[in-house]
Amino acid sequence: MLRFAIAALLGALSLSACAQSSAPAPAPAKGTAAAKPAAAPVAPAGPADQKVRAALTTLDPDFKPDYIGAAPFPGFREVVVGGQVLYVSDDGRYLMQAQPFDIQNKQFAASEGLLAYRRKQLEAIPKADRIVFAPPNPKYTISVFTDIECGYCRKLHSEIAELNKQGIAVEYLAFPRMGLGSQDYKDMVSVWCAADRKQALTAAKQGQPVSARSCKNPVTMEYDLGQRLGVNGTPAIFAPDGTQLGGYLPPAQLRAALDKRAAASAGGGR
């Protein structure tokens, strides 16, 4: 099936991120998940989109893409399925998974359609369901999928004051790497259910015991969103334009990366 073909194509995780567990975990208890996130946007299918869809259906009759659109280079469609970004030739013959690099602009390339898809998905999560650490009048706001057990997540959070000084607001979304129903998941539910979520998250990332709590919460919804966006390690940092910046970066480097993305967007480059 197509998902096995995708799995065979997966590359190595960044060394600046904590890998997601591949072992399945029990399903969460009923009544703990928030509402289902918005469905992916559906664009009118052109001839190339239809050929690509038909070709992938030959690999898996149940193929259902989250997004199909023009790739950032000619002759290919960009496809999001199962959280992975694939590139399929417009005639439907060739499939590859790679991170295209724009030599002229000296940066990884992603189409505006893919970035818009990511932005729309992220916008479906209201600020009230995030844990936000923000300075007054931030220059940039990043969405960060985080896990309380992840070493790099803890390192990033230990530098939250410096990130804020750099003009960066950090909006956390839950991504328990050990899966739904795991102890990691239960602890993150407890954090999101705390009266003071910021304090609870900080304490958990400092290795302090997490007091068990239960409430209606967005942890499952945010985890599912992360999977649809291709998150397979934490922290997973998304810039305001939808670009995934990768894993942990020191505050000054993260600010420089955000400045570069903003300049590229202003100049019409991707």
pLDDT tens column, 23-41: 445 555 544 444 454 444 4
Answer with the one of 57, 83, 109 that is the final residue of a domain. Answer: 109
Mean pLDDT of the region 184-211: 97
Do 172 and 220 reside in the same domain of the chain? yes
Q: Which three-class secondary structure state does DSSP give residue 209?
A: coil
Look up the pTM and report it.
0.81
On the CB side of 231, CA atoms within 13 Å amount to: 34
Top mean pLDDT of 62-66, 101-105, 135-139, 258-262 is at 135-139
Domain assignment present for 119: no
Give the model's pLDDT for residue 267: 67
Question: Are the beta carbons of 166 and 254 closer than 8 angstroms?
Answer: yes
Say if 117 falls within a structural domain: no
- Cis before 235 (ω within 30): yes
Residues 6+ apart with CB under 8 A from 55: 88, 92, 93, 95
Tokens of 224: 């599912």
Give the structural domain span for 86.
2-29+43-109
Q: What are the catalytic residues?
A: 147, 150, 153, 177
Residue that is last in its domain, among 79, 109, 139: 109
Determine the pLDDT at residue 20. Answer: 67
The residue with greater pLDDT, 44 or 58, is 58
Domain presence at residue 136: yes
pLDDT surpassing 60 at residue 43? no
Residues 96 and 142 in one domain: no
193-197 LR contacts (CB < 8 Å, sep 24+):
193/217, 197/131
Asked if 257 and 249 count as a contact pair (C-beta separation under 8 A), the reply is yes
pLDDT, one tens digit per residue, over 229-262 is 999 899 999 999 999 998 999 999 999 999 998 9
> Which neighbouring-strand residues pair with 87?
78, 96
Q: Burial of 203 by CB count in 10 Å (0-12 exposed, 13-18 middle, 19+ buried)? A: middle
